[in-house]
Amino acid sequence: MRGISEQAAAAYGNVVADPVDADLAVLRLRTPHEERPGLFESFFHSGSPAFPEDELKEILRLLDAVPTLECVNLERPAVLFEIAAKAAALVAGYGASDTALLDVAFGRARAQGRLPFELPRSMAAVEASRPDVPDDAEDPVFP
């Protein structure tokens, strides 16, 4: 588990230290962004919407090791194609508690909603899109 309270997770199953011993991993991620200096600018997440290469490799290693529920806090669009392709499930989060996320993962509640924006398939799609035109990404992962 990453980004999930061990106490909350324990209410749904046995928590193990090594993902190899798990039947399911739950990974909570924040939307990628680049830190900005200054007090005012530091409140706004901007920069590349792609995960840094080293972080992406670590995530993909976990996805290869065990079925994984990925919950990404989508405060802004992110490039998630490689993660979405390998995850057992992908949930867009907007501040739900650990318990609410795990209720969905274990079938106690039903997830529903609609994304407020497209998710681009790649950085090339981000670079080709026009910043002033909504929903113009080529072949989005989730329109």
Q: Give pLDDT tens digits for 3-49.
A: 899 999 999 999 998 888 999 999 999 988 888 787 777 778 888 89
Mean pLDDT of the chain: 87
Mapped onto helix, strand or coil, the DSSP state of residue 119 is strand
For residues 118 and 32, the model is more confident at: 32
Please report, rounded to a whole number, the percentage of residues in the chain having pLDDT higher than 70.
Answer: 94
Name the pairing type of β-strands 68-73 and 25-30: parallel
pTM for the model stands at: 0.80
